[in-house]
Structure 1
Amino acid sequence: MTEIGGQTLVSAYNNYVNKLSTYKDLIQEQNKSIKILVYFRFFTFIIDFSVTVYTFIIKSYLVSISVFIVSLAIFIYLIIEKSKAINKRNYSMALKEINEKALKRLNGEWKDFEDDGSEFKDKQHSYSDDLDIFGECSLFQWINSSKTFVGREKLKNRLIHPLSTSVDINTIQQSLHELAMNLEWRQQFEAEGMVIPNQNINPKELYKWGKDKNELYTKPWLILFVRLLPCLTLILITLTYFTSLIDFKLPCFTIFLQTIILFIGAKKRSYTFNNIYKYKGIIVVYLRLLSSIADKDFKSDYLRQLKSNLVTYEGEGAVTAIKKLATIYDKISDRQNSFFMIFNISLLWDYQCMIEFEKWRINSGKSLEKWFDVIGQVEALSSISNIIYDNPQWTVPLIKDCDFIVKANGLGHPLLGDKKVCNDITINNEKNILLITGSNMSGKSTFLRTIGINLVLSYIGATVCAEKFECSLMKIITCMRTSDNLENNISSFYAEILRIKMIVEETRKNKKVFFLLDELFKGTNSIDRHDGAKALIKQLGEQGASGLISTHDLELCDLQYEYFRIKNYNFQEYYVNNEIKFDYKIREGVSTTKNALYLIKLAGLDLE
């Protein structure tokens, strides 16, 4: 048993296992029910068909017709019930898949998840590429449960645009903890999104479609005309049929007039109706997502604020408005029916639907983007809340208002699972630049990423992989994976220079910068590397930046005695039976070990 936000919860693993077992059993029962409906429908058809034919042969026509009508009604009812049963089974299968994925996430098998957000990779971003925010084995791949295009975009934005004030972080922390505690609702919400057709389609076209308008169908004179003309035609037809007061030529003329009117602007109306068909499937699913949010009684301020946006600008509820759009769809859905043309001409039905649709678009169309944004935000927050629910032993970071601080006990890399090694570290105003030395593969780069990604988690409101974690708000800038850019004719060394330029410029703007630099100036000779690194560290220190620098240049460590804000740390290796071992534990001081020749020999190269 564990506590999250003061509430005692069964362990995440046991909860997922129990839910998975429940849905597997439920799916088996639903499959049986569907088979029973199929068999029952088949035998009902055979029996009813036989009785209908037999009673017709013996000329019991009234019985035959009665049996046929009843049989047809039963057959349609069974078709509807089977469709409902299949929908319920699909929903159960979605929930089963969600819990299977959750167990894989806990078991460290999440690196096989298909959606890793690779399209969001941006080497120009200040930290996302170096800290594995997107792409293979990334933070996005680990936590994402968003199913809509908007949800994935909102999660991306939260990961690359951290919150900038402690008040905002605290507000989001409360929302995330509330969602974490509501596992049942989160999974049901996710399941609703799993049946979205073409879920990765950008809805910008849909937003434009909602905001467009055809003013012709909002004109009062046109609305009055198309309302009265069909009524007049029907009255004339009735009078012609039942009396001799009206000549049949008059209703024929009005019918002819209505036919001509239908041809006017028919192509544009068809285009509009086709778009309604096109978006209907997406909108219906979004309706279920909106209904889930609208029906949920949220406690935290931010979630309540999001929910409050589910109204039109005129105050009508989003769910009600989308249901009206679905009703309009139902009115135009039988256009291919052979009898529709007669119906359409008689009532000018296309015009009636266009008038109703334009009225909907004026009242609700411009709100679509706002509503879908709410869905996306909730999906993004739900994804982040997976971290909190799955790792209740992690800590809520304490955001400090002091200049520079990163103070952690038992700090580990959140993406390494059971393989992580935890360390304690303190960075403050007195010692705010750490030089990290150590032999190859000893853990220097991983440690830099460990601090960086936990800072990102802190700034998005999540819990962090530590026993205790305190930090101030700083702009994270990394320089770790610089590489050649052949398209722009940029070498890896020059790319590193541009990155460092970004850090220097940000510090000059009086921004609180936290940098992570891995092997400074590795693209040049040792003398230039040493002189350049020394000058840069001095400049960053004077301008007030804070961060960590890993280096193989042990002479740089002498800076600790020249600048009081610098402190040396190191990682080491050890040997057992002539085999190299690493404990990945950070120690104060300068590294006293090296292993390059050993690793060269281990790779099979004999340099002697």
Structure 2
Amino acid sequence: MIPNYNERAATYKVTVNQLNKKLQLIGWSRLIVLVISATCFYFSRDENGIPFLIGAILSLGLFSYLINIHFKTKRKRQVALTYLWLNNSERAFIDESKPYYEDGNEFLDTKHPYSFDIDLFGPHSLFQHLNRTSTVIGSEKLAQSLLQTQSKESLNKTQEAIQEISEDLEWRQAFQVYARLGKDSQEIRNYIDHWQDSKQSISILAIILAFIIPALGLTSMILLWQTGKVYWFNVGVFLFTANMLLFGAISGKIRKEIGKTERIGAALLAYSEMLQLIENRVWKSARLQEIHSKVHSKNQAASALLKESSRIYENMDSINNGMAVFMLNGTIQFHVHVFRSLVKWKKNHRESINQWIEQIAEIESLLSFSNFSVNNPEYTFPNLQNESIFFEELGHPLLSKSIRVSNSIDFSQERFVILTGSNMSGKSTFLRTLGIGIILSNAGSVIPAKSANFSPLPLLVSMRLSDSLEESTSYFFSEVKRLKLIIDNLKNGPAFVLLDEILRGTNSDDKQNGTIGIVEQMVRLGALGMIATHDLEVCETTNLHPTYLKNKCFEVEIRDNDLFFDYKLRNGICQNKSATFIMKKYQVI
């Protein structure tokens, strides 16, 4: 059952309004307490001002408490706003097919065996349809899942993990919310990757002085208060200056550290919150149990360790506050101690952090497929028990369900299909539908089919090619190179092959003979798959290999001087043509 995203969005809208009112109340309370504190300090100068002084100190304590409450409430509002955005966006995606995550255009590779041909990445692509990742590495993992072939054992584990995550909407959305709040970026990812090579250090002398000078400074202030002698004030000023000089000697390292990215603290906090969600759950599926086992370091939870590093970075970020730098470092060498904590943290945990983040990426990828499953409850997981490929009522997931036409096809008997049909009859769309069915099956996902049997196979495609001025290659030569790639891969083992109207860049005789030759190669090399063609003579090849090849087609009818397509797959060779009719109708000929 598809979740009621409208209802959930309405609930979070109420929560946001309540938190806005609470923040206003806290703001006014802070102002009132500050005024009271200032008033008490003013009257504490009187002879009987001790009660006012106590009141001022208590008021400052209350003010600090309210600041803490303010930041916690502000964080809760950020979380609630993200939940509101998430549910509104998911509703719009289902109702209007309006994608709201990145399209993965950076993963587009025209030389990949199928990603460019199948509309895998880019605007309105399969990746964008599936994508629910917010971290850079999560996006990379999802793309990798769509570009690889898993073993049957691995596919079983992936299917189980997707099913388990899909059962808990609250957990899934909490993970998405924290990932979104982290505002991860490639800059942050690159910075963390370089931790392995980090050689930061702070000298022993600087550490000793960072303890001794502030202690001497505090001692001088106590002596000044007890004796009232100006001498101790002068000593205090000297020690204050010494503190600032020591800070100045190390401030370059600190600024270099935080200057690389301003959002590292928020990203680490988000990583921590996501890892805590993984740690706090008892998982049933083997894949999720493996992930859970990898989010600890030296018997410590990774979430707690990353939360510690997040606090360190947040404290370091105060170096950009001039008043804080002056007061905190002139008295207690605050930023020197913070930097020392960072150096120590990196030394102890820098080798583990990439492993922790990789587990977040695994979950984000699985979560994307789980969300796809939940939003499409009629979709099914392919059965992996049979050594065959069969799809019952397979449709294209990027087409609206209201106009989608599904078809069944079985490759367990005839392993390779020659597909014919007139222009616009649906040949290319069906090839892409098959391609997406294979890709999703290889990823362990549900597919838009009533039922399916699947055996993992690599996918090889030649559908969308172009010439290249940069490489000085013609369209024909580009196609020949792609076909050579397919043949070479088939020599290494079986694969599922999709070919759409190949050899269009040459004359009709060469095209026909070449296509027949490629079909013969498919038979010799044991390929499964389909080739779409307009050359009906190619269909006669099935007579030579009746147990391996099969003819199927899409037909068109002319009704009331117009074309009618039903997009239903039929057995046999296409009998009707439409190109001449269309050109005459639009007065091209």
TM over 0.5: yes
Are positions 1:147 and 2:111 aligned together? no
Partner SS for 2:557: strand
The Cα of 1:77 is off from its aligned counterpart by: 4.4
**62-71 or 567-576: which moved more?**
62-71
Q: 1:212 to 1:596 in 2, by over 3 A?
A: same
Counterpart in the other structure of 1:489:
472
**Which of 418, 421, 430 is residue 447 of structure 1 equivalent to?**
430
Q: Tell me if 1:371 matches 2:353.
A: no
Residue in 2 that maps onto 1:554: 536
* Aligned equivalents of 1:578, 1:235: Cα separation in 2: 97
Cα deviations across residues 380-400 of structure 1 (Å, max 9, x unaligned)? 110111121112222210125
- Counterpart of 2:508? 526
CA contact (8 A) 1:476 1:513 kept: yes
Matched, 1:92 2:85: no
SS in 2 for 1:126: coil
Shift of residue 525, structure 1, vs aligned partner: 1.1
Counterparts of 1:46 and 1:348, CA distance in 2: 28
Q: How far apart in 2 are the matches of 1:342 and 1:398?
A: 67
- For 1:137, the aligned partner's letter is H
What is the CA-CA distance between 1:298 and the residue it aligns to? 2.0
Q: Who is 2:580 aligned against?
A: 597
Q: Aligned pair in 2 of structure 1 residues 275, 592: CA closer, same or farther (>3 Å)?
A: closer
CA distance in 1, matches of 2:38, 2:307: 42
Within-5 A mapping of 1:494-513:
494-509=477-492, 511-513=493-495
Q: Is the 8 A contact 2:182 2:266 kept in 1?
A: yes
Given that 1:213 and 1:361 are in contact with CA atoms closer than 8 Å, whether structure 2 keeps it comes out as: no
CA apart distance, 1:271: 2.4
Structure-2 change in CA distance of 1:589 and 1:259 (3 Å): closer
| Distance in 1 separating the partners of 2:238 and 2:10 | 69
Residue 316 of structure 1 pairs with residue 300 of structure 2:
yes
- Whole-Å Cα distance in 1 between the matches of residues 124 and 429 of structure 2? 14
Equivalence map 1:47-446=2 (5 Å): 48=36, 72-110=60-98, 112-113=99-100, 115-163=102-150, 165-197=151-183, 199-201=185-187, 203-209=189-195, 211-214=197-200, 217=203, 222=205, 225-226=208-209, 229-230=212-213, 233=216, 264=249, 266-272=251-257, 274=259, 279-312=264-297, 314-329=298-313, 332=316, 334-335=318-319, 336=321, 338=323, 340=325, 344=329, 351-400=336-385, 402=387, 405-418=388-401, 419-428=403-412, 430-446=413-429
Within 2, Cα distance between the matches of 1:277 and 1:460? 36
Distance of 1:456 and 1:413 partners within structure 2: 12
**Is 1:27 aligned to residue 16 of structure 2?**
yes
Unpaired runs of 5+ residues, structure 1, are 1-10
Task: Tell me: CA distance 1:527–1:472, structure 2 relative to 1, closer, same or farther (3 Å).
Answer: same
CA distance in 2, matches of 1:329, 1:407: 54
1:157 CA drift (Å)? 0.9
Over 3 Å counting, the alpha-carbon distance change for 1:132 and 1:32 in structure 2 is same
Distance change (3 Å), C-alpha of 1:323 and 1:496: same
- Residues 34 and 63 of structure 2 are in contact (CA less than 8 Å); yes or no, is this contact kept in structure 1? no
Distance 1:104 1:124, change over 3 A: same
| Residue deviations 1:263-317 (CA, integer Å, cap 9, x gap) | 55553344235558652222122222222222222221111211221123x3432
Q: Is the 8 A contact 1:226 1:351 kept in 2?
A: no
Normalising by structure 2, report the TM-score: 0.88
Residue aligning to 1:574:
557
* Contact 2:136/2:185 (<8 A) preserved: yes
Q: Give, in whole Å, the separation in 1 of the partners of 2:446 and 2:510.
A: 41
Moved more, 414-423 or 21-30: 21-30
Distance 1:601 1:53, change over 3 A: farther
Task: Return closer, same or farther for 1:601/1:400 CA change in 2, 3 Å cut-off.
Answer: farther
2:11 corresponds to which letter in structure 1? T
Retained in 2: the 8 A contact 1:55–1:63? no
Distance 1:331 1:33, change over 3 A: closer
Contact kept in structure 2, 1:396 and 1:463, CA below 8 Å: yes
Deviation at 1:232, TM superposition (A): 8.0
- Whether the 8 Å CA contact 2:498–2:529 is kept in 1: the answer is yes
Tell me the CA shift for residue 444 of structure 1.
0.7
Distance 1:551 1:293, change over 3 A: same
Which residue of the partner structure matches residue 516 of structure 1?
Answer: 498
**1:94–1:191 Cα contact (<8 Å) kept:** yes
The residue aligned with 1:4 is none
Task: Give yes or no for contact 1:223–1:355 (8 Å, CA) kept in 2.
Answer: no
- Measured against aligned partners, the alpha-carbon deviations of 1:63-92 in whole angstroms (never above 9, x if no partner) come to 765665555555554454444333322212
Q: Deviations over 1:140-196 (max 9, x none)?
A: 111111111111111111111231x10000001000001111111111111112222
Query: 250-259 vs 225-234, which deviates more?
Result: 250-259
Is the CA contact (8 Å cut-off) linking 1:400 and 1:473 kept in structure 2?
no
Percent identity over the alignment? Answer: 28
Contact 2:268 2:307 in 1 (8 A): no
Verify the 8 A CA contact 1:478 1:517 in the aligned structure 2.
Answer: yes
* 1:97–1:238 distance in 2 versus 1, CA, 3 Å: closer
Q: 1:592 to 1:188 in 2, by over 3 A?
A: same
- The alignment's TM-score, normalised by the length of structure 1, stands at 0.86
Instruction: Judge conservation of contact 1:520–1:533 (CA < 8 Å) in 2.
Output: yes
**Given residue 408 of structure 2, which amino acid in structure 1 is its aligned partner?**
D
1:12 corresponds, among 2, 5, 27, to 2
Could you give the per-residue CA deviations for residues 218-241 of structure 1, whole angstroms, max 9, x where no partner exists?
xxx658844774488469859987
Unpaired runs of at least 5, structure 2: none
Give 1:589 deviation, angstroms.
Answer: 0.4
Aligned-residue offset at 1:198:
5.2
CA distance in 2, matches of 1:524, 1:98: 51
Residues 291 and 187 of structure 1: CA distance in aligned 2, closer, same or farther (over 3 Å): same
Task: Give the drift of 1:431.
Answer: 1.3
Query: SS state of the match for residue 203, structure 1?
Result: helix
In terms of mean alpha carbon deviation, does 113-122 or 521-530 score higher? 113-122
Measured in 1, the distance between the counterparts of 2:35 and 2:246 equals: 50
Instruction: Please state how far the C-alpha of 1:119 moved relative to its aligned partner.
Output: 1.7
- Rounded Cα–Cα distance in structure 2 between residues aligned with 1:547 and 1:389: 30
Q: Residues 271 and 303 of structure 2 are in contact (CA less than 8 Å); yes or no, is this contact kept in structure 1?
A: no
In 1, Cα distance between equivalents of 2:577 and 2:517:
26
C-alpha distance in 2, partners of 1:238/1:458? 72
Helix, strand or coil: the match of 1:436? strand
Aligned in 2, Cα 1:235/1:431: closer, same or farther, shift over 3 Å? closer
Are the equivalent residues in 2 in contact too, given 1:34–1:82 (CA < 8 A)? yes
Partner in structure 2 of residue 536 of structure 1: 518
- Counterpart contact for 1:149–1:200, Cα < 8 Å: yes
C-alpha distance in 2 between matches for 1:94 and 1:474: 40
